[in-house]
Amino acid sequence: MPLGTTYEYRFMANTYTQIHIQTVFAVTERECLIKKEWRDDLYKYISGIIQNHGHKVLQINGKPDPVLNLFGMRPTLSLSDLMKQVKQDASKWINTKGFVNRKFS
């Protein structure tokens, strides 16, 4: 750099990323294991997992299985890592609560 040379740096201000993802969780062999009595609690629990990772749940529902989820995802975590965490934590929650007569995974 020659003596006396000045450089001006310009950075992009207010960069914004918006990604909407829809996921579908199906129960093994398409069994109807998610019961009406605890379905809403499951949706709230899954929503909490997603929100705790900094993402925004737009809609979650099912009829009654599978679980459909639409959320805004921030580019701070890979989709596969987030879905692994959601599935792992939700399955553990269902098993801990004893909602099904066998291991739910």
- The structural domains of the chain, ordered by start, are 19-97 (3.30.70.1290)
- State residue 101's pLDDT score: 83
Mean pLDDT, range 61-79, rounded to an integer: 87
- State residue 103's pLDDT score: 79
- State residue 71's pLDDT score: 95
Phi then psi for 27, rounded to 5 degrees? -75, 145
Percent of the chain with pLDDT over 90: 51
DSSP assigned state of 28: G
Q: 18-46, pLDDT tens digit by residue?
A: 799 999 988 777 778 888 899 999 999 99
- State residue 72's pLDDT score: 94
- State residue 53's pLDDT score: 94
- State residue 18's pLDDT score: 79
- State residue 88's pLDDT score: 94
- State residue 7's pLDDT score: 63
Could you give the 3-state DSSP secondary structure of residue 30?
A: helix
Cα–chain-centroid distance for residue 49? 7
